[in-house]
Structure 1
Amino acid sequence: MSGLKLVFVIYTLQKGGAERVLSTLGNSFSERAYEVVIVCMNDAEQGYPLAEGIRVIPLLKRKYKQNVFRRLIYGMLTYFRLLGVLLREKPYCVISFMTSANLWTGLSCGLLKIPYIVSERTTPDHTINRFNFFFKWMSYFVYSGSKAVVVPAKGIEACLKNNGIFNRLTNYSIIRNPVYVFKSKEHLIVHHRKFILGVGRLSYEKGFDQLIDAFSKLRIKNIDLIIVGQGLEKPNLTAQINRLNLQDRVILAGAKDDLQDYYNQAELFVLPSRNEGYPNALIEAMSSGCPCVAVDCEFGPSEIIEDGQNGILVPQGNIPAMTKAMFNVLFDLSLKKKLGNEARLIGQTNSLEVISDKWEALILSPA
């Protein structure tokens, strides 16, 4: 069925988990000889590389701090410009990521009778489940008309079903995130000492303050902590590091495009998140054979890690348990080796080929 046109819709293509997955899938379908178009509801800097044949169409530039009138105008422009793009492109199927893009896509495709798939990537408690009565019913109407509601974790489906009317949907489909394959072939020494690694956006929900607290209680002098990422929490994390007198041992390394050397050289990877959708950094670290400790947050870690087999799960908010888990992995060499070896298997179950096959089967399935 190659040669068909697919349109992907997302808010922006800047750096983020959903953006990385969509970019990766777009590249994969382009390689499979599909014509791929990506529509961005808001024009922003592109965070990940795209195949040469992929076209990106921004709908408009949004100015923030808008009043109600400007938001209404923005909504109308978004809807009519998306309608115009879909009328012009005439895609075989439209695939949208994240709630706002899902709603505009469903309303547009429903009017134009174009098959579409929606995908929720984060906890619905922060999006749909907070909507008022009208928007919940509109969301249900849009999602029920889609070929599938794709979620990366079973927990996201369960959370959606907690929202009464969404329990009626029968078109849920779980497709995991693919393991991202880094392009760089260089092998660089990223740090001169042993280190524990954290990766993600510097935001409260990612829980790096918890990781820094747990690391401070390790009392091990010959190992550092490197946190790769950028975000609004950096000043608070910097203040915390200074308060704990860890300036020489905790490094906020900023954002990095190629992380394979960090994963390969880390003694241990820790995911300290308060909530997730399906953590890309965790599966990347595991596929590199890096032993992992993860907070058992909603959602994803408990569906990725079998505790004690291919990683260690610790309870949410339990700093002593995180410290103990890190200590055990670092000093129990047989456990460390076992966790790393078992973790590598996710590179097979979540390979881009396997995940793309599942998406392709869904796209080509009868409406």
Structure 2
Amino acid sequence: MKRLLIILQDLRGGGAEKMMVRLATALTDAGNDVTLLMLTDTGVNSACIDPRVKRVELHSARSSRAVPALARFLRQNRFDALLAALTHVNVVAIAAAMLSGTLARLHVSERNAFSHDKHVNPALAVRTAYLLAPLLYRLIPNPVICVSRGVAQDLVDTTITRAQDVTIADNPVLDNDFRDKAPGRPKHRWLSKKTTPVIVAVGRLARQKGFDVLIDAFARLADPRVRLIIFGEGALRTELLEQAVALGVADRFDLPGYTSDPLAEVAAADCFVLSSRFEGSPNALVEAMSTGTPVVSTHCPYGPQEILDNGAIAPLVAVDDPDALAQAITVELTLSRDANRQARIDAAARFVSACAAKTYLDALLGSQSS
């Protein structure tokens, strides 16, 4: 049994946090002693933590101020391997590992397209982290774990990071027995008592997710019966609602907020759409595919191209092109729901937790993992 530590800022509702909670469970299932450490506080994903996984909260006011506390914790508790997630957390973890003499056991991970993600948060501490990270990635002994080939290549192409400084590991998106599990019952009224075709999307209400383009595409659909639901929370809520009003589709559009069981909602829908401008490896797309529901995705950097086998599994359309998106959605709503269903499910199976756990253990422990 190996002692493993996963370092996060908190456990809010983001995809990276959700995947790290799932990874903690998968690594525990593989026979390891796993601890989740949050630099600040907990969050909504704490409800999903397996009771076997230990948790530690440093309660730092900001992640950037957590270096001394994290260094003390690392000196006082010996782990066989450490894994940090998200760029600003990686920088904090590297500094703390240097101070505590544990750098040889530290691994960091990039969860998104670095060249795009660095522009999202204007906070000085975050911008500084993005400036420092590539230099640190050249200096640390272990390669950066990236969630897709695209994320790894982007890091190499747009920073001083070298090819030997990166490696790849898939997200643990799905339960190992996902094929055998029936989806839960949807809670949204348009899905629980469905009378018309319904399109569903899931994600933060942020510019990255391209929901403004999706609403534009939705307004261009010829069938006036079709409805659109976007599950998620975020700063653009009011703006998206106003856009729906301006386009005359407000009565067929809903923003119900965060859902605790997105698979149940997506499984009942007629089409799932990923409209993102950039990603790392979109977990929502994989989850949607696992239900067999038809999907449409933008050809955004990075992830969808790899997941959908260059469009062989499901349509890929240009980013920021509402006409193309509307056309692809129309085609999917016209086809039989079972068209290419098994191909979608089979492609999603690559992202089961057991496969991810093995890949991460190999990356974290090398020969010690066997």
Instruction: Say which SS state the counterpart of residue 45 (structure 2) adopts.
Output: coil
Equivalent position to 1:93, from 81, 86, 93: 81
- Matching of residues 19-98 of structure 1 within 5 Å: 19-48=17-46, 49-62=48-61, 75=64, 77-98=65-86
Equivalent position to 2:111, from 102, 112, 121: 121
Encode CA deviations 1:240-279: one digit per residue, 9 max, x unaligned: 1111222221111211011222121111111001111111
Aligned to 2:272: 269
- Matching of residues 1-367 of structure 1 within 5 Å: 2=1, 4-48=2-46, 49-62=48-61, 75=64, 77-111=65-99, 112-113=101-102, 114-126=104-116, 136=131, 139-142=134-137, 144-167=139-162, 169-181=163-175, 186-188=184-186, 190=188, 191=191, 192-193=194-195, 194-333=197-336, 336-365=337-366
Encode CA deviations 1:320-339: one digit per residue, 9 max, x unaligned: 11011111111133xx5333
State the number of aligned residues. 351
Instruction: Say which SS state the counterpart of residue 91 (structure 2) adopts.
Output: helix
Instruction: Say which SS state the counterpart of residue 248 (structure 1) adopts.
Output: helix
- State how far apart, in whole Å, the 2-side matches of 1:87 and 1:187 are: 47
Contact 2:270 2:293 in 1 (8 A): yes
- State how far apart, in whole Å, the 2-side matches of 1:201 and 1:262 are: 16
Instruction: Say which SS state the counterpart of residue 173 (structure 1) adopts.
Output: strand
Instruction: Say which SS state the counterpart of residue 187 (structure 1) adopts.
Output: coil
- State how far apart, in whole Å, the 2-side matches of 1:205 and 1:179 are: 20
| TM-score for both structures, normalised by structure 2 | 0.87
Aligned to 2:123: none
Contact 2:295 2:315 in 1 (8 A): yes
Question: Residues 132 and 205 (structure 1 numbering): CA distance in 2 closer, same or farther, change over 3 Å?
Answer: closer
Contact 2:137 2:144 in 1 (8 A): no
- Measured after TM superposition, the shift of residue 164 of structure 1 is 4.7
Question: Residues 53 and 332 (structure 1 numbering): CA distance in 2 closer, same or farther, change over 3 Å?
Answer: closer
- Measured after TM superposition, the shift of residue 216 of structure 1 is 0.6
Encode CA deviations 1:304-352: one digit per residue, 9 max, x unaligned: 113553110001111111011111111133xx53332211013321111
- Look up the equivalent residue of 1:205 and give its one-letter code: Q
- Measured after TM superposition, the shift of residue 366 of structure 1 is 5.4
Contact 2:305 2:311 in 1 (8 A): no
- Look up the equivalent residue of 2:35 and give its one-letter code: V
Question: RMSD across aligned C-alpha pairs, in angstroms?
Answer: 2.5
Contact 1:59 1:78 in 2 (8 A): yes
- Look up the equivalent residue of 2:81 and give its one-letter code: C
Q: Which runs of 5+ in 2 are unaligned?
A: 121-125
Contact 1:143 1:149 in 2 (8 A): no
Question: Residues 315 and 127 (structure 1 numbering): CA distance in 2 closer, same or farther, change over 3 Å?
Answer: closer
Contact 1:117 1:147 in 2 (8 A): yes
- Measured after TM superposition, the shift of residue 109 of structure 1 is 2.1
Question: Residues 91 and 197 (structure 1 numbering): CA distance in 2 closer, same or farther, change over 3 Å?
Answer: same
Question: Residues 184 and 311 (structure 1 numbering): CA distance in 2 closer, same or farther, change over 3 Å?
Answer: closer
- Measured after TM superposition, the shift of residue 136 of structure 1 is 4.4
Contact 1:99 1:127 in 2 (8 A): no
Instruction: Say which SS state the counterpart of residue 13 (structure 1) adopts.
Output: coil
| TM-score for both structures, normalised by structure 1 | 0.88
Question: Residues 254 and 137 (structure 1 numbering): CA distance in 2 closer, same or farther, change over 3 Å?
Answer: closer
The sequence identity of aligned pairs, in percent, is: 25
- State how far apart, in whole Å, the 2-side matches of 1:137 and 1:231 are: 28
